[in-house]
Structure 1
Amino acid sequence: MYSTLKPLMLAIASCSCLYAGTAAADTIINNVRGYTFSGAQLLQFQALAFDDAGKVIATGKSAELAVRLPNARHVDGGGKTLLPGMIDAHGHVLSLGVSQMQLGLRATANLADAQKAIADYALRFPLNQWIIGGEWNQANWKLGRFPTAQEIDVVVKDRPVWLSRVDGHAGWANSKALQLAGITESTPDPAGGKIEKDAQGKPTGILVDAAMRMVDKVVPPASNAEQRAALNLALLELAKVGVTSVHDAGVSEAADKLFREYADQGKLTARVYGMVRGTDGLFDKVSQQGPLLTYGQDFYSLRAVKLFADGALGSRGAALMAPYSDAPHTHGLLFKTADDMYAMIEKAASKGYQVNVHAIGDAGNRQILDGFARLPASASASLRHRIEHAQVVALDDIPRFKQLGILPSMQPTHATSDMNMAEDRVGAERIKGAYAWRSFLKQGSRIACGSDFPIESPNPFWGIHAAVTRQDMAGKPAQGWYASQAMTVQEALRCFTLDAAYAAHQENSLGTLEAGKWADFIIIDQDMLNMPAKDIYKIRVLQTWVAGKQVYSVIK
């Protein structure tokens, strides 16, 4: 491996000083197998030229660009593959960093593993007042039920423990955390949430959706130093996996302040397209000046709003029109009435904000489509409203996305993560409209692809692999899970680049390597367009560049 990377690494070493000073010059990255879209067409090129301002001058043949730009500095790309920077259309930036500082249970194979991980973490961090973390998934543990507070108590009972489910829509608390939150058998379910209780009416330790706030509000808030540490960790992780821009699905007031600060200081190494969480609080403040279309040379914007229709499928909080196939006593949860939801949509749209609504279940998706249908037609067309996830959609509602001009913002790895339980939840008929990428593409919808990190990995090549194969990394199922809904490699690449940029009104500045756009690009170790699809998840990012500056490299 080292011998094949050596020319590239030497090139990195030789050019690393170019951006330390203030000298102005054009740069040409030569000797690459480059790909970029131009409209619907995928083009290939040998070299990329960009100016000192970080804008693309041209792509083309090395010799032709050398003649056109005789004073340019040249960097040898070592024959590697160069792509536009990946855009994750749905992530949670600070949460990604926070997740790396907390207890993670994603890799636990069963409840006993999880209990051991909790106990080990408690021993390693004896001064932590709370044990915080998550990423647990009871479906992977084959429990056939949610875990309980008592199953944490047996390993940690003297300190509060609060662990979010992998989808972020349920939390697992021990008895100490329940006590501090004031949750007892007489505590009623909050609107849009559920306190799971046993046959005797006692809280089990599982809180779903809005009920999670009862614990969240008693957890000590992160300090400014902790927030900065989380952002630094998140930016590093995004650079490592080649994500040069992310749509942050739920920006708080603290996060907004931090993103602006980092943009002012030139410390953002990934562009952030922000969605204000909700239509009160921060929204009431920032909307007085109208949408923040761009800030800090396109490194930050705040021109969208994030709303929630329902919960998640794994915790049975997603709102379904008919009962869950594996739990006939519940339909899940709609968080708002139709009129209340429309009022929020209309409030944001009337002030010129794109409205992006989390909707997982078919009832959630229908409520939001109905709400968007009540807006003036011009509002949806110009603002490009989105449904985040669009995960389980009634078959007769899929065409409404195109008719109403609503963009489906979807996360391919959700399908391969959920395939172990999704059909159990919704049955053989409703699954036909679930994770239905091909159905959306066939009708001409532009899908914005993301990961929903840290719920899933931010690695876009894991997402592209899932989109193309509909398989896990072990190659299962052999023929792909509902493989008729798979994307082609080109479609998946476009979904993570140009179409994600379009979903943020940024297609004229990001998403392709066309003249005048920002020189956001990555160099990877394999040719994604000419390799077995089953191996795409193995792709490794060698370099990440944002605005013509190298923000990550593999150095041997």
Structure 2
Amino acid sequence: MNKKLILSGICLAATFFTGCQKEKADAIYTNGIIYQVDSTFSKAEAFAVKNGKFLSVGSSDEILSQYESDKMIDLNGNPVYPGFYDAHCHFVELGNVLQTANLVGTKSFSEILEKLKGFRTAHPAQAWLEGRGWDQNDWEDKSFPTKDSLDILFPDVPVILTRIDGHAVLVNSKALELGGVDEGTKVEGGKVVLENGQPTGILVDNAANLVIEAMPDLTEAQLGDNLKIAEELCFQNGITTVADAGLRKKQIDFVGKMHDNGNLKIRMYAMAHPADTSFYFGNGPVKTDRLNVTSFKIYADGALGSRGACLLHPYHDDPDNSGFLLESVEDLRNLVKAISLLDFQANTHCIGDSANRALLDIYGEVLKGENDKRWRIEHAQVVSSDDMEKFAKYNVIPSVQPTHATSDMYWAEDRLGKDRIKTAYAYKTLLEQNGMLAIGSDFPVEDVNPLYGFHAAVARQDGENYPEEGFQMENAISREDALRGMTIWAAYAQFEENENGSIEEGKKADFVILSEDIMTAPNEKLRDVKVMNTIVGGEEVFTQQKLDKVNM
């Protein structure tokens, strides 16, 4: 018989006759539908929290018979889940982007120009005019825009407009001048797009860095404000832990300082930038209660939408172009080998099937079969059927973003053709390799809301529930697996499964209360489910509705 049930029965009997001394908890939550996401995917009704951790989990009667608290919460039948992870995002960038012109969803370049004029009027003192989110695939004219109109409207203000995927920018002549970019500029792993021998203003992948590096740094006050805005948005969406994919040491240090002074409460797994290997190789990983720096983000190629993804065969809609790697195979191999000698994970951005093959083979050279390194391929977006088994062979974790499938499905076949599209966004096939996926969003490329990714993973539909039959439904995953991917599997992918990712005794009390049960709600309603409360370490950090307190 279950030990807790025996103790509960003893205590109930003792209470009847003499009264039983109950253990004091900081908070007790009862009468809920609690998805523990443990090894058996158990459900419970109640739990007690003490010192920021789950003290005990069970039925309402069990918890109330053993514990007492001044803070008694009746969940009123609401569903509760472990705090959501975003296993691949850009948290620091999100805060910064929210202070720039929002170009997401624009239907033409002329609409972008109108938005920029309005934004400049509202922010006349900003040294640079910045915007993010344009996607020429959403326009009637699907060709890349040029800088001509920007030069006319903003001749003296540097302008930089980042494409939705973050792998291409459009800049004006002033920005090109400040970045030292002209018709003769050559960049390994990048491209300065020319027309009639002159730059059009489009810079792809590493070429964009020439202009980005000319931009002024944010002040600490600005960065701190931006991080708080990003944190608030994450908490509103039930996200308690973010995996920020690619941060410089100074950014990581600033996040750590905000954690230390209590100004930032969200947990972060920060993938360090390869430019900072010398520091981390010399000093080792960083692990605190809220900050985890145990990995490096490696960049293999660009994005499919901007045709920077490295493919085994040319683009279907650009037969002279197969994309490119951002670094040589030899440089990538040397970096991976260096990481393998230390206690760090290698997490590599791979979109195209050529990039995925190259890195899986490099991983294989180093990992040599069974291991617990938990190295990851970030995105794993287009993977040749010949390479799928390598995820299992070398114990590589696929880190995927389901909304990429439903955002790209309108034009991805144009890029890949009808045969190659079948091995793109193949989440179920990837899941079958090692029995897990780490699920994220890649925000601000996609929306912050993790329930959009949950819906995309199980229904393979966009926000309009299109297509009706789902996109490539053979690679839809179950709701159970989708929830695991954004909780316990995401925690496992960053060596945190023993401290977080499920609602179990002794683990950190990170959890989210929703308005409806995403395990049973109709597909078409999943994106409408609301976060009611978000709790991190037992502390309520977001409240949509006041929790009912009861007197016991």
Q: TM-score range by the shorter chain?
A: over 0.9
Q: Kindly indicate whether the alpha-carbon contact (under 8 Å) linking 1:407 and 1:445 is maintained by their aligned counterparts in 2.
A: no
Deviation at 1:333, TM superposition (A): 1.0
Alpha-carbon displacement from aligned partner over 1:276-297 (angstroms, at most 9, x marks no partner): 111x4x22112212112x21xx
Q: 1:211 matched to which residue of 2? A: 207
1:498 to 481, 488, 505: 488
Q: Per the alignment, in what secondary structure is the counterpart of residue 147 of structure 1? A: coil
Q: Per the alignment, in what secondary structure is the counterpart of residue 132 of structure 2? A: strand
Q: 1:30 matched to which residue of 2? A: 30
- Residues 73 and 186 (structure 1 numbering): CA distance in 2 closer, same or farther, change over 3 Å? closer
Q: Distance in 1 between matches of 2:133 and 2:295?
A: 27
Equivalent residue letter for 1:197: L
Q: 2:218 matched to which residue of 1? A: 222
Q: 2:47 matched to which residue of 1? A: 48
Q: Distance in 1 between matches of 2:408 and 2:429?
A: 19
Q: Kindly indicate whether the alpha-carbon contact (under 8 Å) linking 1:239 and 1:269 is maintained by their aligned counterparts in 2.
A: no
Q: 1:152 matched to which residue of 2? A: 150
Deviation at 1:152, TM superposition (A): 2.2
Corresponding pairs, count: 523
Q: 1:313 matched to which residue of 2? A: 304
* Bigger-Rg structure (1/2): 2
1:288 to 282, 285, 307: 282
Q: Per the alignment, in what secondary structure is the counterpart of residue 519 of structure 2? A: helix
| 1:520 is aligned to 2:519 | no
Q: Distance in 2 between matches of 1:29 and 1:71?
A: 10
Alpha-carbon displacement from aligned partner over 1:177-214 (angstroms, at most 9, x marks no partner): 11222222222x2000000111x111111000000011
Deviation at 1:157, TM superposition (A): 2.4
| 1:415 is aligned to 2:405 | yes
Q: Per the alignment, in what secondary structure is the counterpart of residue 42 of structure 2? A: strand
Aligned counterparts, 1:121-200, within 5 A: 121-187=119-185, 189-198=186-195, 200=196
1:339 to 330, 348, 355: 330
Q: Per the alignment, in what secondary structure is the counterpart of residue 37 of structure 1? A: coil
Q: Kindly indicate whether the alpha-carbon contact (under 8 Å) linking 2:455 and 2:526 is maintained by their aligned counterparts in 1.
A: yes
Extract unaligned runs of 5+ from structure 2.
1-23, 547-552
Equivalent residue letter for 1:554: Q
Q: 2:21 matched to which residue of 1? A: none
Q: Per the alignment, in what secondary structure is the counterpart of residue 235 of structure 2? A: helix
Deviation at 1:429, TM superposition (A): 1.1
Alpha-carbon displacement from aligned partner over 1:97-118 (angstroms, at most 9, x marks no partner): 0111111100312222111001
Deviation at 1:524, TM superposition (A): 0.7
Q: Distance in 2 between matches of 1:450 and 1:163?
A: 24
Q: Kindly indicate whether the alpha-carbon contact (under 8 Å) linking 1:268 and 1:299 is maintained by their aligned counterparts in 2.
A: no
Q: Distance in 2 between matches of 1:216 and 1:275?
A: 20
Aligned counterparts, 1:259-270, within 5 A: 259-270=255-266
Alpha-carbon displacement from aligned partner over 1:302-322 (angstroms, at most 9, x marks no partner): 100000000000000000010
Equivalent residue letter for 1:354: Q
Deviation at 1:78, TM superposition (A): 2.6
Q: 1:529 matched to which residue of 2? A: 519
Q: Distance in 2 between matches of 1:123 and 1:73?
A: 49
Aligned counterparts, 1:156-555, within 5 A: 156-187=154-185, 189-198=186-195, 200-278=196-274, 280=275, 282-292=276-286, 294-295=287-288, 298-377=289-368, 381-555=371-545
Q: Distance in 2 between matches of 1:340 and 1:142?
A: 40
Deviation at 1:555, TM superposition (A): 4.4
Q: Kindly indicate whether the alpha-carbon contact (under 8 Å) linking 2:28 and 2:69 is maintained by their aligned counterparts in 1.
A: no
Deviation at 1:443, TM superposition (A): 3.3
Equivalent residue letter for 1:319: C
Q: Distance in 2 between matches of 1:212 and 1:32?
A: 50
Deviation at 1:71, TM superposition (A): 4.7
Q: Distance in 1 between matches of 2:221 and 2:69?
A: 44
Q: Kindly indicate whether the alpha-carbon contact (under 8 Å) linking 1:84 and 1:521 is maintained by their aligned counterparts in 2.
A: yes
Q: Per the alignment, in what secondary structure is the counterpart of residue 207 of structure 2? A: helix
2:81 to 71, 80, 83: 83
Q: Kindly indicate whether the alpha-carbon contact (under 8 Å) linking 1:118 and 1:155 is maintained by their aligned counterparts in 2.
A: no
Q: Distance in 1 between matches of 2:487 and 2:219?
A: 34
Q: Distance in 2 between matches of 1:183 and 1:288?
A: 35
Q: Per the alignment, in what secondary structure is the counterpart of residue 97 of structure 1? A: helix
Alpha-carbon displacement from aligned partner over 1:29-71 (angstroms, at most 9, x marks no partner): 11211112121x22211112111x1111222111110001145
Deviation at 1:511, TM superposition (A): 0.8
1:73 to 71, 74, 90: 71
Deviation at 1:421, TM superposition (A): 1.3
Q: Per the alignment, in what secondary structure is the counterpart of residue 381 of structure 1? A: coil
Deviation at 1:144, TM superposition (A): 2.1
Equivalent residue letter for 1:290: G
Q: Kindly indicate whether the alpha-carbon contact (under 8 Å) linking 1:122 and 1:156 is maintained by their aligned counterparts in 2.
A: no
Q: Per the alignment, in what secondary structure is the counterpart of residue 88 of structure 1? A: strand
RMSD across aligned C-alpha pairs, in angstroms? 1.4
Equivalent residue letter for 1:287: F
Q: Kindly indicate whether the alpha-carbon contact (under 8 Å) linking 2:25 and 2:67 is maintained by their aligned counterparts in 1.
A: no
Q: Distance in 2 between matches of 1:192 and 1:443?
A: 30
Q: Per the alignment, in what secondary structure is the counterpart of residue 312 of structure 2? A: coil
Alpha-carbon displacement from aligned partner over 1:363-414 (angstroms, at most 9, x marks no partner): 0001100110111437x72221000000000011111101111000000011
